[in-house]
Amino acid sequence: MRMIDKKEREPLAALLDDIGSNHLGLLELIESKGGAALERAMGIVEDLKSEPLHKEASSSVHPGSCPVDPGASQPSQAGRGSARDGREVEAELCLEEFQETVDLLNAYGTNFTVDFEIVRGLEYYSGTVFEIYAEGLGAQRQICGGGTYELASLFGGKETSSTGFGLGFDRIMEIVQMDSQRRSPVYVAFTPDVKKEAARIGKELRESLPVILDVMGRGLGAQIKAAAGAGADYVVIVGRDEIDSGRLMLRDMRSGEQESLDLAEIEERLKNHFGEL
């Protein structure tokens, strides 16, 4: 990993040649960025599945599934030395969930780049890692970094997947602009089958309104309950029927009344509401 971090390509190429992995295209992978990098990574995964060393281990795995070590959920006495100890290669290379994350980032309109050259601690992280940057900070512009980890298993506990991050608070305070007037948020509540569509709707509304979308995988009823608990005045309800018809449900949380409106009508209604406050 040091060779990747320091961009030492020649020593890395020699290492890959020594371990018999120079045919996989790993050097080309770390040089690629964005969609091309993801396509190349998926190609490498398919190549690895055909490798003789992995055929036997993969024989009981359903295509597209993410196998889990059968003993991973069992606590150990001493814990593992690394977040990756005891994990099958196929579990490390399952990209279906990563692709879903990429699809959601696109739906949110997030400016991002897929970059397999990002280096963070392999003893710590066990899945996707990420870094967030901000404009206006010069060369030291990273304000957040984190990823998926399984710390409990390192200390003898069960293998519990989590995601965490650390913020550069001082850097954020250099560029943040605080709005002293806090408005009640609009909740976009949705059914699981229209998550990406709901993200796009939330993005459009967020251009002019404070919007909250669920990220905990709660059901529609639980999302509406959470909106009520947060004091939201309105909830935009999105389901498959609403997407197909092009008309969403706008619920007034104060009166309990709801109307079927298109997105432009909802945005106009909410702008008028917040403009009167």
Global pTM exceeds 0.85: no
The pLDDT value recorded for residue 62 is 37
The pLDDT value recorded for residue 174 is 85
Tell me: the pLDDT tens digits for 203-254?
999 988 889 999 889 999 999 999 999 889 999 999 999 999 999 999 999 9
Burial of 213 (0-12, 13-18, 19+ CB in 10 A): buried
**Rounded mean pLDDT of 124-128?**
80
Tell me: the pLDDT tens digits for 25-64?
888 888 889 888 888 888 888 877 776 554 444 443 333 4
Q: Which of 19-23, 92-96, 129-133 has the lowest mean pLDDT?
A: 92-96
Tell me: the pLDDT tens digits for 154-213?
777 887 878 889 999 888 888 887 665 667 789 999 999 999 999 999 999 998 888 999
The pLDDT value recorded for residue 137 is 83
The pLDDT value recorded for residue 6 is 67
* CATH number of the domain located at residue range(s) 186-275 in this protein: 3.40.50.800
- Where do the CATH 3.40.50.800 domains begin and end in the chain? 186-275
pLDDT exceeds 80 at position 23:
no
The pLDDT value recorded for residue 71 is 44
| Encoded amino acid at 44, one letter | I
Q: Which two tokens stand for residue 147?
A: 């990823």
Residue, of 9 and 191, whose pLDDT is higher: 191
pLDDT exceeds 60 at position 258:
yes
- Distance between CA atoms of 185 and 269, rounded to whole angstroms? 14
- Distance between CA atoms of 191 and 237, rounded to whole angstroms? 9
Confidence of residue 68 (pLDDT cuts 50, 70, 90): very low
* Strand partners of residue 188: 213, 236
- CB atoms closer than 10 angstroms to residue 195: 18
With the C-alpha atoms ordered 243, 269, 201, 230, is the resulting torsion angle positive or negative?
A: negative
Tell me: the pLDDT tens digits for 71-123?
444 444 444 455 555 555 444 556 888 888 899 999 988 999 999 888 776 66
Q: Which two tokens stand for residue 119?
A: 């280096």
3-state class percentages of the chain: helix first, strand second, coil last, to nearest 5: 40, 15, 40
- CATH 3.30.930.10 for domain 69-174, yes or no, is yes
- Distance between CA atoms of 224 and 264, rounded to whole angstroms? 22
Q: Would you say 248 and 204 are in contact if contact means Cβ atoms under 8 Å apart?
A: no
Closest Cα partner for 66 from 96, 36, 103? 96
- Where do the CATH 3.30.930.10 domains begin and end in the chain? 69-174
The pLDDT value recorded for residue 90 is 47
Alpha-helical regions (H) of the chain: 2-5, 9-18, 26-31, 35-49, 52-58, 89-92, 96-108, 151-154, 169-175, 195-206, 220-229, 240-245, 263-275
- Distance between CA atoms of 188 and 206, rounded to whole angstroms? 11
Q: Which two tokens stand for residue 176?
A: 């943040």
* Residues constituting the chain: 277
The pLDDT value recorded for residue 78 is 46
The pLDDT value recorded for residue 121 is 67
Instruction: Mark 36-49 as b/e (b = at least 16 C-beta within 10 Å).
Output: ebbebbeebeeebb
